[in-house]
Structure formats: structure tokens, C-alpha cells
Amino acid sequence: MKAERHKKIINLIKGNGAVKVSVLAKELDVTKETIRSDLNTLAEKGIIKRCHGGAFIEFETLDKVAKKEIIQFLECNDQIDKNDLANKTAINKVCVLGSFNVDMISYLPRLPEAGESLLSNKFIFSPGGKGCNQALAASYADAQVHFITKIGTDQFSDYAVNFISSSRIKTSTIYQTENYQTGTASIFVSEESGENIISIYSGANMDISADEVKIQKDKIIDADIILLQLETNIEALKEIIAIGNENNIPIILNPAPYNKIVNELLPMIDVLTPNETEASLLSGIEVIDLVSAKNAAVSIYQQGVNKVVITLGSKGSLAYDGYKYIYSPAYPAVVKNTAGAGDAFNGALAASLAKGKQFSYALRYASAFSSLAVETSNASEMPEDINVMHRINQTTYSQIVTQSPE
């Protein structure tokens, strides 16, 4: 009886991402106390996770056979050891704390002028958000990713849960809130140039708390690399940075969208990855070419970060570590949509570094990865690792390394 109820609870949570105690009690026709006891039992076994004042589910992208085996194991053995499910040696692990947005993408002949209306040639409804996109990119780059995010309880929440749980992302923790809607992004893409304009409603992404991050400490410290951006609550961001620093886990921060709070975080960051606009705001130096990018990189480095990687769009990227500059040209690409280029670059960079690759190689891999990503129709479409390696192996490519004059 109890095992059957546990099975139903797991299936309900898998289907909904997060289910309230009251809903489970009503659905299974038992008391709330019984449900709380069941949830505590399942949490002790490592099947689900619980937190004070809320509920979340940790998803693992298992195939149908594996899911069935876990259910059968629950039915026949009520003393399941969570180590049997979680104790698998793995490398190249990336933990991503970040946003999930529903992207609403309009393809236009060109980007409109102020006050101008244009007819859209195509409209796409797609999963997105910098956190989700970067987690997907790292996953497609063959990293084992744990993604931490927060969504609402609106019409988009089921879509979010279903997408994340069935994606290439290995595991995820999805918190839910009734206070805010799931994040959304309105994206306008020029079919002429591939350039874009994006408007973001952060919603539930900004509601994730430091306490909710603390609950994920075991997952965070199990990572080889932590990857972050600024589409999430700053207090939660500070908490995961503190955990990473305490446990000597390298942290990559993509300072987008720019927020001046990032300046006080720089001494705690290993790799900062601004684009030209963000680098200009961080340094006070307008980045318009390679020379100004070098000056901006030095200025940002002097604020305490270990390495700076300025992404330069179609011109590639410039990295600086206090001793040398590494200029990595962009790989040739047939551009369809640049909206996810930065996210693709960051996810691929994190995955490559998590595998233990040299920094210069990771930059090259990220450049090749992002060149393939911009050839797809929307920001959440990511290339396969085998195609990235093919582009690397089939393209004549040279990075330029120069010593810092200081």
C-alpha cells in the first residue's frame, strides 16, 4: 500500500515538477500528515528533495527503462540506499544556477525603427533564458550538468518542467513560486542580418533565495565548474559564489544582463565573460576594436577577477589573465540567429574547462561551438560535440597570443 502510494507520488512529481502537500493529499485521499511522512521517507532515500516552506524536485534525464527500474525497486525494496542511485563516479561536471524563460521569437525582414510596426514572417515559441541555454550548451558539449532554476505556477510552468526534464541536461532542481510568473523573453530577429533585440521579464527567476541555493550545496560542491549569469536573484548568486569559493570550485560569471552589482563580485570570480557592451560598462572604456578590448580587459582584471574573456561577436574573443592576451578569431558561419551565441560560448567554455582542457583550447572549442549555434533558428538549439570537433578539425585556425606589456 505504502509502496504503491510512493510510486504515485513520484509519478505526480515527475509530471508536474513540484506538487503541494495539499494537492497530493487530495489526489491520494490521505491526510496531509501521511503525505509529509511519505515525502520525508522519499527524501531520505534520495529520490526527491524537500525544503522548508516549499517543494522542489530533482530531475535526472533517465531513459524509460531506468525510470521503470527505480519504480520497481521502490515496490520490492523499501530500504533503498540513496548511494545506489547517486554514487556514480563522473567527471566534467558543471553546475549552472540561472534563469528559465519562455522565448517568444518573431522573425522580421529587418529590425524596426522606433515607433515602427513590421509584419513578422515567422513566430516561434521556445524554451530559453540564459541559464537554461548555457546549461543546454554545456550538456551538448558533453558535460554532466546540474541546473538550478525557479519558475512560476502559471500556464508556462508545465512547459518548463517537461522541457527541462526531457532535455539533454542530466539533472536539475526546479523550484516553484506562486508569487511570480515564469520568466519570459520577447525576441525580435532580423532575417537580413541575424541580429536581435530582446526584452526580458525575469519573473520567478528573481525569486530564488539564498536558502534555496544552500539546500543544493551537495550538488554544487560536486561540480568541477560553476557557471553563472545575472538573470537571477543576486542574493542567491552571492550564496553559490561563496559555496564555490569555500570549496575551491572555479566560477565562470557571464555578467549579462549588466548590473553594477557585478563589480563587487569580481574578486570572487575566476573567469568573467562580458561582451563588448558589458566590458565597456565594467571598464569605462568603450570597446570598439581589439586595442580598446585589450585596454578594457586590463581594467577589468585589475578589479580582482582572475581571467577576463571579452566576446567580440563576429570578431571572436579576447582573453586576458594578467600575463598574456589570447585572441581567438570567430569560426566562419552562415548566421541565422545570434541570440544564443553568448550562451553557447559560455556553456561550451565551462564544459571544456570542466573536462580539464587547457584554457586556450577551451576558448577555441567555445568559438567553434558558438559558430555552429548561430547557424540554428533559435537560441536553445545547440550543436552536437561531434559536429564541433569536425569544424575544429576541418578549419585552418590560429589563435594570437601576445604578452602583456606590464
Which residues carry out catalysis?
A: 343
C-alpha cell at 83: 548511494
The burial of 43, by beta-carbon neighbours within 10 Å (0-12 exposed, 13-18 middle, 19 or more buried), is given as middle
Amino acid at 336: K
Amino acid at 90: A
Is 342 among the annotated ligand-binding positions?
A: yes
> Cα–Cα distance between 243 and 247 in angstroms, integer?
6
CB within 8 A of 17, min separation 6: which ones?
57, 59, 151, 157, 158, 160, 161, 165, 174, 176
Is 2 among the annotated ligand-binding positions?
A: no
C-alpha cell at 308: 577576463
Is 314 among the annotated ligand-binding positions?
A: yes
Is 103 among the annotated ligand-binding positions?
A: yes
Is 373 among the annotated ligand-binding positions?
A: yes
| Beta bridge partners of residue 98, listed in sequence order | none
Is 121 among the annotated ligand-binding positions?
A: no
Q: Which of 374, 272, 358 is nearest to 313 (CA)?
A: 374
Is 102 among the annotated ligand-binding positions?
A: yes
Is 133 among the annotated ligand-binding positions?
A: yes
Is 308 among the annotated ligand-binding positions?
A: no
Residue pair 82/45 in contact (Cβ under 8 Å)? The answer is yes
C-alpha cell at 129: 533564458
Q: Which of 227, 277, 273 is nearest to 254 (CA)?
A: 273
Is 129 among the annotated ligand-binding positions?
A: yes
C-alpha cell at 240: 553559490
Is 368 among the annotated ligand-binding positions?
A: no
Is 26 among the annotated ligand-binding positions?
A: no
Q: Which of 346, 375, 379 is nearest to 363 (CA)?
A: 346
Is 53 among the annotated ligand-binding positions?
A: no
C-alpha cell at 361: 583550447
Is 76 among the annotated ligand-binding positions?
A: no
Is 77 among the annotated ligand-binding positions?
A: no
Is 398 among the annotated ligand-binding positions?
A: no
Is 204 among the annotated ligand-binding positions?
A: no
Mapped onto helix, strand or coil, the DSSP state of residue 115 is coil
Q: In what order do the strands lie in the sheet with 196-201?
A: 122-128, 101-108, 183-190, 196-201
> Cα–Cα distance between 173 and 314 in angstroms, integer?
34
CB within 8 A of 94, min separation 6: which ones?
135, 138, 143, 144, 145, 146, 223, 224, 225, 226, 227, 347, 350, 351, 354
Annotated binding-site ranges for ATP:
275, 311-316, 342-343
Binding-site residues for substrate, please?
A: 101-103, 129-133, 231, 343
- Residues annotated within the binding site are 101-103, 129-133, 231, 275, 311-316, 337, 339, 342-343, 373, 376
As annotated, the binding site for K(+) includes 337, 339, 373, 376
